[in-house]
Structure 1
Amino acid sequence: MEKDIEEMCDSSNCFPLRTMESAKLETVCIFGTGDFGRSLGLKLLQCGYSVVFGSRNVNSSNLIPKGAEIFGHVEAAKKSSIIIIAIHREHYDFLSGLADALKGKVLVDVSNNLKINQYPESNAEYLAGLLPGCKVIKAFNTVSAWALQSGTLDASRQVFICGDDNKAKEEVMEIARCLGLMPLDQGSLLAANDIENYPLQLFPMWRLPCYICAGFTVLIFLYCLITEVFHPLAEKKEDTSYLIAISIPNRVFPIVSLILLALVYLAGIIAAIIQLYKGTKYSRFPNWLDQWMLCRKQLGLTALAYAFLHAIYTLVMPIRYYVRWWADYYLVKQIKSNGTSSFSNYYAWLSDSYVALGILGFFFYVLLGITSLPSVSNAVNWREFRFVQSKLGYLTLVLCTAHTLVYGGDRFIYGAFYRWYLPPAFVVSLIIPCAVLVMKFILIVPCLDQRITKIRQGWERKSKVVNNGSSNMQ
């Protein structure tokens, strides 16, 4: 039996066996024989703990892991000082009748709700109110039963723990470490509400980037629809609706990608301007700017996803029916007219430059995305990460902006491309990126750059109060 436990601990990322001799003698009680309770019990058994289950149906021994015991709630509570409450909040009421048996025990609340802020107080605080003689700890609610059963805890190894009793909290954290988890102390039981809301959040840092991306996507799509489908239909009675499938998306994706990339760096520029204006870094930014700066990574990754779509759509262009038809039509037209088009060195340079800038821009785009991955960013120091995300990030923006400028070529000045007096879509895409690059160029002027550096190092432009009550700026 001891050898089996050794093997199970080795395969379950438990602590080495020599550090768990005392843990083997401990008994952990679990109230609840549902999926999570059984999975947690199995994991505890594998790591050397004795496990007893408290259940209203003591005849359901076939449900619990082999090696565990099952008793009534009162008898099970007597066998351990730590009791894990693996039941839903709506069933907590029966615990009031066990107040005497649970007095002085450590109760570990692992429950979650169906939606954020479902109740006025957290489940752990509600449990503490029901049983004031117990030490309630919130823990393990961010770990799934499936991860415990399958042993794939890599994606959810970190667990948040909070409680008012430090000694009880340390005992629970020791259990978490033995299970191969990384406990993070969140303080008192007041933090339980945030801990319970955490697993219910649906990509909280991605909401704003997704809204921004969706908004620009819809606006640019409608703009292209007006200039490339509605205009030919109204002016020439020409049906170009087939462009909606490939051509228009292949305009929307790069335009939105370039705008989102520019927005990543625009937030930092606005923050620098505010710091210059206020003369300090100790003044809070507006909430909208705080939210914007916090989601810059997600904005950049969304921009990279759109750049990938643009690359894929561009690669399939030659196999489109319209492109093949147009090539054949142009060739036949030349044969019939017995004419040829002479080679243009200017357009050859323009085309190759456009493609080369696009390839280089996409390469650095991918490099930025790779370095934002936790596994990569953790392997570089702060200066290296800042160099890639800032210096190479601006280089990427320059290359992608130049790619769009060269793509436009001399079409910027041709009136035929301004339909209903609306500029081509690629002109619209250049507004924000060019504005960002111009502002960045201004901010790196030595006098401004040095002032921003001083402010970010703690220097402040303070007011100096004089005797007459007025103040002069230093």
Structure 2
Amino acid sequence: MDNMSFGADSMDPIRVNGNANGVVGDGKRKPTVNSDKIVAVLGSGDYGRAISRRLVNSGYTVYIGSRDPNRGKIKTLVRQTGATLTGQEAALAVAKVVIVAVGRDHYDFLPMTHLRDKILIDVSNNTERRRGPHYRSNAEYLQGLVTEAKVVKGFNVLSAYALENGGLQGSKEVFLAGDHADAKMKVSDIVRSMGFHPVDWGSLQASRDIEDVPLKFMPSWKRPVAVVFGIFVFIWILALFSFQICRNLASGNWHERWKHLAMQNFNRVIAITAIWTLSFCYLPGLIAAYIQMWRGTKYSRFPKWLDDWLKMRKQLGLLMLGLASMHACISVAYLTPQMTSWVYEAPTKIQAEVIVGVNTTSTKSISIYNSEFNWRGELFLTMGAISTCLLVVLGVSSLPSVTATLSWREFTFIQSKLGWVALIAAASHDIFLAWHYMFLYWGCFRTLPIGPQYALYPPFIAVIMKIPLLLPPVDNYLQKIRRGYERNSQYEIRGSEGV
């Protein structure tokens, strides 16, 4: 790494005097360097240094071209990347591929004549979305400045932090756009060598959409958040009627129970929302299985609503994990024998003389609550703990960095088998908590179900749909379809053929 210093040396393709003819000062020809593995980076800022470090670690010889390569601070920072700091013209003289790591406002100050016939990789982003009949992306603007160059849009979806921290975003997709197929192929090779996955978005005009990608705010989360929020609001309204409005109507006292809105009602609602959301993670897969068996093939598309539902299961699962964690924290804070006496051992009642005046006493019955759980309370807490633990495992295993370390069989076991155990444990947690009321008590106007009852509706539907799929004949037929078998087809693919 000694030759990758601030400037040129006797082993550098760039001569000390700034020439690039491959001859050093004593007249001897220096060792040749593979020109396909040389990359020039224009810009010595954070992003320029970050991508240079990644390129050097990927086996490339990198020259960072700066307008002022003699600044001491920049020299120190560039030395840490393993690249060579030099002037812009000197860097461009030896590299066919150039990464333009400066903002659009600085394009006009680039050495345009030296950029001709080069492959220019534009990595810039916009600060806001730009639209209009005369709008051109940064990459299109650069192509207009240097018409003889081959501009390719790419790398703008990777942050400097991610590039500097090794494989933090390994296997991440890098979107490419350009009008020259050979240039995009060259850039694709560079992307792969850096440990990322290139995705061709088409012509350079597609760079407008690529530059908008970093400006999008959680696009895959908007619909799942809206769904979960809708469930929350629906259940909160039911809880309001059940625990406040209806009970106050029955008692005639409108000042009761309103103080419980902030904690007890909220805790009930997020618990029910969490178990509904967990059920909604598995219901679309069950519906898809029945559709595949009905059609006798896996090659026909699902309805759009089901396809969208399947795609947001990961987000639903992570939102559910957040709700379940919040429910566990709140429950630990206020779960007492006074609040949930039915899951504790029966209290001991005593008669005591209570002083009610100066010389007056009164005999009152006092309950001394028992802090030990009964059998139902212990099962209630155990099922809740098991469900929470499994939900954490499901959430962690869905992270890309963890998923990459799992085989397909391991991932399927965690997300499917353990997921169903978590759903059943969560439903059991609810059943053991409200066993005393589950089938003996009705809520609003003695007609509507109480919270623990309607919390079980989606899990119950999911379990009922799952049971037939566990039967060996049904399961074998479904697996055969998923391996490629098509009913009523002249080409019936059996076993693992055609997969």
**TM bucket by the smaller chain?**
0.7 to 0.9
Residue 186 (structure 1) aligns with:
199
Residue 250 (structure 1) aligns with:
267
CA offsets per residue over residues 248-297 of structure 1, 9 Å max, x none? 12211221111011001101011112212222211111222112111212
Residue 36 (structure 1) aligns with:
47
Q: Distance in 1 between matches of 2:190 and 2:435?
A: 66
Q: Distance in 2 between matches of 1:258 and 1:45?
A: 49
Q: Distance in 2 between matches of 1:373 and 1:290?
A: 21
The letter of the residue matching 1:134 is: A
Counterpart check, 1:268 vs 2:285: yes
Change (3 A) 1:41 1:275: closer
Contact map agreement 1:24 1:48 (CA 8 A) in 2: no
Residue 474 (structure 2) aligns with:
448
Change (3 A) 1:242 1:202: same
CA offsets per residue over residues 211-251 of structure 1, 9 Å max, x none? 11211122222222222223344443142222123211221
Contact map agreement 1:29 1:79 (CA 8 A) in 2: no
Change (3 A) 1:400 1:322: closer
Change (3 A) 1:462 1:228: same
For residue 351 of structure 1, report the CA deviation from its aligned partner.
2.4
Counterpart check, 1:279 vs 2:291: no
Change (3 A) 1:273 1:70: same
Q: Distance in 1 between matches of 2:237 and 2:407?
A: 44
Q: Distance in 1 between matches of 2:201 and 2:366?
A: 84
Q: Distance in 2 between matches of 1:365 and 1:219?
A: 24
Which of 433, 442, 447 aligns to 2:459? It is: 433
Change (3 A) 1:454 1:252: same
Which of 174, 194, 204 aligns to 1:160? It is: 174
More helix by share: 1
Q: Distance in 2 between matches of 1:298 and 1:188?
A: 26
Deviates more, 1:394-403 or 1:363-372: 363-372
Mapping 1:264-413, distance limit 5 Å: 264-318=281-335, 335=352, 336=363, 348-413=374-439
TM-score normalised according to structure 2 size: 0.72
The letter of the residue matching 1:385 is: F
Contact map agreement 2:284 2:309 (CA 8 A) in 1: yes
The letter of the residue matching 1:214 is: F
Q: Distance in 2 between matches of 1:62 and 1:92?
A: 25
The letter of the residue matching 2:222 is: R
For residue 161 of structure 1, report the CA deviation from its aligned partner.
5.5
Contact map agreement 1:23 1:49 (CA 8 A) in 2: no
Mapping 1:218-229, distance limit 5 Å: 218-229=233-244
Secondary structure in 2 aligned to 1:204? coil
Which of 59, 62, 71 aligns to 1:49? It is: 62
Secondary structure in 1 aligned to 2:298? coil
Residue 14 (structure 1) aligns with:
none
Contact map agreement 2:349 2:365 (CA 8 A) in 1: no
Change (3 A) 1:391 1:319: closer
Q: Distance in 2 between matches of 1:452 and 1:441?
A: 14
The letter of the residue matching 1:110 is: V
Residue 135 (structure 1) aligns with:
150
Q: Distance in 1 between matches of 2:433 and 2:125?
A: 53
Secondary structure in 2 aligned to 1:52? strand
The letter of the residue matching 1:106 is: I
Secondary structure in 1 aligned to 2:98? strand
Q: Distance in 2 between matches of 1:76 and 1:445?
A: 68
Contact map agreement 2:38 2:94 (CA 8 A) in 1: no
TM-score normalised according to structure 1 size: 0.76
Query: RMSD of the alignment, in Å?
Result: 4.1
The letter of the residue matching 1:28 is: A
Residue 124 (structure 2) aligns with:
111
Q: Distance in 2 between matches of 1:342 and 1:320?
A: 6
Change (3 A) 1:420 1:189: same
Q: Distance in 1 between matches of 2:464 and 2:115?
A: 68
Q: Which runs of 5+ in 1 are unaligned?
A: 7-19, 465-474
Which of 238, 241, 248 aligns to 2:258? It is: 241
The letter of the residue matching 2:40 is: V
Q: Distance in 1 between matches of 2:392 and 2:53?
A: 43
Change (3 A) 1:348 1:200: same
Secondary structure in 1 aligned to 2:263? coil
Contact map agreement 1:164 1:188 (CA 8 A) in 2: no
Q: Distance in 2 between matches of 1:307 and 1:248?
A: 15
Secondary structure in 2 aligned to 1:203? coil
For residue 170 of structure 1, report the CA deviation from its aligned partner.
5.8
Secondary structure in 2 aligned to 1:246? helix
Q: Distance in 1 between matches of 2:4 and 2:489?
A: 72
The letter of the residue matching 2:195 is: M
Counterpart check, 1:68 vs 2:82: no
Q: Distance in 2 between matches of 1:320 and 1:261?
A: 29
Deviates more, 1:245-254 or 1:353-362: 353-362
Contact map agreement 2:351 2:365 (CA 8 A) in 1: yes
Change (3 A) 1:174 1:436: closer
Change (3 A) 1:43 1:154: closer
Q: Distance in 2 between matches of 1:217 and 1:403?
A: 20
Change (3 A) 1:352 1:166: same
For residue 419 of structure 1, report the CA deviation from its aligned partner.
4.4
Residue 2 (structure 1) aligns with:
2
Counterpart check, 1:196 vs 2:202: no
CA offsets per residue over residues 428-474 of structure 1, 9 Å max, x none? 2111111111111133334433332222122223389xxxxxxxxxx
CA offsets per residue over residues 25-77 of structure 1, 9 Å max, x none? 946251x56653466568778975332235xxx69957854563346xx7875
Deviates more, 1:377-386 or 1:268-277: 377-386
The letter of the residue matching 1:2 is: D
For residue 363 of structure 1, report the CA deviation from its aligned partner.
2.8
The letter of the residue matching 2:375 is: W
Residue 16 (structure 1) aligns with:
none
Indicate the structure whose relative CO is greater, using CA pairs within 8 Å and at least 6 residues apart: 1
